[in-house]
Structure 1
């Protein structure tokens, strides 16, 4: 029953689903359906004016004193990771949305955390993140997808409503490190990749093994960028409050590379490993990116205070008849 439920959720929340307005499947790796074609083959929203991801130009970031610390509930609980699935375009971890919530950080209410997924390139040294900062693209990006509590965990309803506050995605850049002393949780997470090599594969053995806090490590979750945008996969609905954290998660090069060598895209004529599963940056179209201090980039050296007290910190990361 759990596997069936997760499979259904994956169809709603992950980039495997196809847009309802097109019979053409979207993809990342084939010229006929990669992200450059989405505005044509999924025309309803993918050609909109508030699309994601974007390049964050720090010199244009404006200060917003309302961007305070977040409150995280359940991020230190090791019972919240329910299953891991190969969606056919990403690796998605289903979260217990009755336990994990986010509020604060100038979000308009409480949000339930439903899943997180990742975007990557082709190896630990290749560009793979969706968002960029001053043109810099990181090897990976993690998205935690949260749905406003008024939708009772129903992401489809939030998307269908075209409510610009329906989803709040917390985004974290990931970059490689030679230091393997603090990557235990990532080693545990990547150990499950061999169980989900093919599209649709799911395992629930992940329960009671990892916490969200442990994956986020020493990231200072009080420093972030904020803007209004969209899902980063079709149908690209513009229903997302984006939070992009300034500090990066440090993961060993070896573990980052496992994503591009272990799991495979949804069926094509020949098996193809999932690589470069990111959408290119979209036009800002006059949108304003805000932060605590305009135009600043913080050091990636984490704040120990922020790392030790998840109750006063934060996070960013999927859905629709597709997802981010």
Structure 2
């Protein structure tokens, strides 16, 4: 009896480990750029992602909590109780990688974190989409930075920062210029960039949108906590073009089309004068 109980316990632990590993794998973005693209006319384009791998990427087609979305004043609930974003960012060694569908900056050390409702998420990587994936009142911007955070159990929280083209360069991207040039023409290329400081992303921590959504790349995993900063920052045309070189389908875009809101709650943490027709 004791032996049977031990076997049951071991089996239970193994099952839990497998399920946890599977969940963590599903919560990861796809690294193989050849599996999908952003070309609307391609069989690997966004409208077909759910058909490419029906068992693994089914949420890309059938999910009801998908991202990105339009952040519209008509549907957003303005609140003031979410508080200032609880961010603790610190320097870390990092690796820059051309994933074909985007440029990813992977942090080596777990030195930076975001805390939401008592849960601590570690900043794992940053990557960029051009044009922006999220829109505000129907307006699409020129660039969107995603800061991807995870817990040890695989829960994910992403901060999105929007940019418009201007004369002022983004200081964080400016520090990576030499490294971006070095890997821009070679899919799969990686380059150690030394110590980077994510604090230099320097976004507004007070006014932001919050909703539950998904990854914007396959497997389109849901239950992702999204924070999209309301402030729109500046980036130069040259900086955007350098990032666009990485997109493998030569469409110079890596933004997933907008997804249905499906009656989800979207909150705007905001202190200030009443919002007009545009944000």
Length-normalised TM-score, structure 1: 0.69
Q: Structure 1 residue aligned with 2:174, among 169, 187, 193? A: 187
Extract unaligned runs of 5+ from structure 2.
1-25
Give the number of the structure whose alpha-carbon radius of gyration is greater. 2
Give the Cα separation in 1 of the matches to 2:84 and 2:77: 17
Extract unaligned runs of 5+ from structure 1.
1-10, 19-23, 121-127, 152-157, 159-165, 266-271, 301-324
Is 1:28 equivalent to 2:38 in the alignment? yes
Is 1:85 equivalent to 2:88 in the alignment? no
Over 3 Å counting, the alpha-carbon distance change for 1:254 and 1:297 in structure 2 is farther
Q: Which has the higher contact order (CA 8 A, sep 6+)?
A: 1
Correspondence for 2:50: 39
Give the Cα separation in 2 of the matches to 1:278 and 1:256: 13
Q: Structure 1 residue aligned with 2:162, among 166, 173, 191? A: 173
Instruction: Please state how far the C-alpha of 1:15 moved relative to its aligned partner.
Output: 4.0
What aligned pairs does 1:84-163 form with structure 2 within 5 A after superposition? 84-104=96-116, 107-120=117-130, 128-148=131-151, 150-151=152-153, 158=154
What aligned pairs does 1:226-265 form with structure 2 within 5 A after superposition? 226-260=210-244, 262-265=245-248
- How many aligned residue pairs are there? 248
> Higher strand share goes to which structure?
2
Over 3 Å counting, the alpha-carbon distance change for 1:291 and 1:297 in structure 2 is farther
Instruction: Please state how far the C-alpha of 1:145 moved relative to its aligned partner.
Output: 0.4
Checking the alignment, whether the CA contact within 8 Å between 1:42 and 1:234 is kept in structure 2 is no
Q: SS of the counterpart of 2:139?
A: coil
Correspondence for 1:322: none
Over 3 Å counting, the alpha-carbon distance change for 1:143 and 1:298 in structure 2 is farther
Checking the alignment, whether the CA contact within 8 Å between 2:27 and 2:221 is kept in structure 1 is no
RMSD: 2.9
Instruction: Please state how far the C-alpha of 1:175 moved relative to its aligned partner.
Output: 1.2
Length-normalised TM-score, structure 2: 0.79
Instruction: Please state how far the C-alpha of 1:250 moved relative to its aligned partner.
Output: 1.1
Instruction: Please state how far the C-alpha of 1:245 moved relative to its aligned partner.
Output: 0.4
Give the Cα separation in 2 of the matches to 1:14 and 1:189: 22
